[in-house]
Amino acid sequence: MGQNPTSGVLSLQRRREIYALCSKYDIIIVEDDPYWYLQYPTSTAINTTTTSDASNTSFNPHMPMFANAEPQPDSWKQSGYPFLDSLVPSFVSVDTDGRVIRLDTFSKTVAPGCRLGWITAQPELVERILRITETSTQQPSGFVQSMIAELILGPDHSGLQDPKAAKKGGKGGLPDGEGWKADGWVRWLEGLRGNYERRMNQMSRLLDDGKYLVKSGRRNSLSSDEDEWSVVEKTQLYSFQWPIGGMFIWLKVHFENHPLYSTYAKSHELPRLSRALWIFWTTKPYLVLVSPGTIFSPTDDIRDREGYKFFRLCFAAINEDQLAPTTKRIAEGVAGFWRIKDKKTIDRLLADDDVVVEGRAGLAELAQMMGPC
């Protein structure tokens, strides 16, 4: 759900197809769901109007996508919480063989440093995982466990040693010190999803506004009897799909439209053009830092062939008042990079970077000469 970095979400139909294959060949499914609660109905609607991709169609057609709507009688299994029922069902929901291991975490919904999660699976699998944990990590941070227990369960949970303290209140998630409990936890998740969805919409709209470089001018008519006429040239700089889930936008830069594309394509140095853009973004007046797509490539071949085209943007890890100006600088940075038509300018951008790369290569060669320490 909300795959990192592409923010893709598998439809329920696609999940059933994958599950059928895994059932046929007896394969265990490990479903890692840190972003399951961060799914965006507005993006689903937008993407459905622009693509026929089945993964972007309605996940649960009989279940309302918004909490204030009423579910239909023949809807998917209901949890009692309209918000949870509006989300794409997990693989666990279609698991009839007990072959799904679902992983959840508090790190994306409470705090980044909150490295605490839970596993949903059949008892036999959970028992084996527990034994492995006892002989490896033993357990997550005890401090984090206590903090989450107090936040959600409150001071009256079963782990409290002094029953009298429960009457005094604690430091739970509510103003009176009581814990969120299930109702409060779901309300928090719904509010968090709404906050991120608002940020996602804002960043996506601004990026949409800047994805074309438009040039206009006037040309003289070939006939002296006709007036001169205007011309508009429209060049696509980048493209992306509005995220259906998660925290990221996966930006594809159309380097094939850059004035220097053929120069770098002939010398098989297109990744250098991408690297130059990444550095260019960090210069004034843009001053933004994004994640290059090469670091997310699963293989060296994909990294060299496709990775350089992509960049990952995060709309969650920035103050909301800085989101709009930062996004505008990202778009303006691409447009500014397109105005570079001299290879020497690219070489100057990469000069310091080349020194670093050569230095690393030298250290590697030296280490090889010296042998293992």
141, 66, 139: which is closest to 111 by C-alpha? 141
* pLDDT at position 72: 44
- Is 90 exceeded by the pLDDT of residue 368? no
Greater confidence (209 vs 80) lies with 209
Asked whether the predicted pLDDT for residue 55 surpasses 70, the reply is: no
pLDDT level of residue 114 (50, 70, 90 thresholds): confident
Length of the chain: 373
- The residue that leads in pLDDT, 319 or 68, is 319
Quick: pLDDT tens for 291-306.
999 999 999 999 889 9
Q: What is the pLDDT of residue 168?
A: 53
CATH number of the structural domain 12-140: 3.40.640.10
Rg of the chain, C-alpha, whole Å: 26
Residue 232: how many other CB atoms lie within 10 Å: 8
The pLDDT of 93-112, averaged and rounded, is 92
Which phi and psi angles does 36 have, rounded to 5°?
-60, -35
In this structure, the number of other CB atoms found within 10 A of the CB of residue 164 comes to: 7
pLDDT in tens, 16-28: 999 999 999 999 9
- Tokens encoding 234: 């429209």
Segment 7-50, tens digit of pLDDT: 988 888 899 999 999 999 999 999 999 999 999 988 876 654 44
| Model confidence at 364: pLDDT above 60 | no
Please state, in angstroms and rounded to a whole number, the distance separating the CA atoms of residues 129 and 28: 14
- Where does the pLDDT of residue 280 fall: very low under 50, low under 70, confident under 90, or very high at 90 and above? very high
Q: Residue 332: how many CA atoms within 13 Å on its side-chain side?
A: 13
Structure tokens at 304: 């060299």
Is this structure's pTM higher than 0.85?
no
Report which listed range, 169-173, 337-341, 361-365, is most confident.
337-341
- Is the pLDDT at 253 greater than 60? The verdict is yes
Domain boundaries, the chain: 12-140, 199-368
The arithmetic mean of pLDDT across residues 78-95, rounded, is 88
Looking at residue 370, what is its pLDDT? 36
| Percentage, residues of the chain above pLDDT 90 | 57
pLDDT per position as a tens digit, 303-323: 889 999 999 999 998 889 999
According to the model, what pLDDT value does residue 355 have? 55
Domain 199-368 has CATH 3.30.110.30: no
Query: CA torsion, points 118, 123, 125, 128, in degrees to nearest 10?
Result: 90
Higher pLDDT, 260 or 1: 260
Report whether pLDDT(86) > 60: yes
Where is pLDDT greater, at 261 or 155?
261
Q: Where do the DSSP E strands lie in the chain?
A: 29-32, 100-105, 117-120, 212-219, 229-236, 238-239, 248-253, 291-292, 310-314
- Mean pLDDT of the 184-190 span: 94
Contact 85, 79 (CB under 8 A): yes
User: Which residue would you say has higher pLDDT here, 159 or 370?
Assistant: 159
In this prediction, residue 1 has a pLDDT band, given cuts at 50, 70 and 90, of confident
Does residue 204 surpass a pLDDT of 90? Answer: yes
Mean pLDDT over the full length of the chain: 82
Q: Is 57 helix (H, G, I), strand (E, B) or coil?
A: coil
User: What pLDDT does residue 231 have?
Assistant: 64
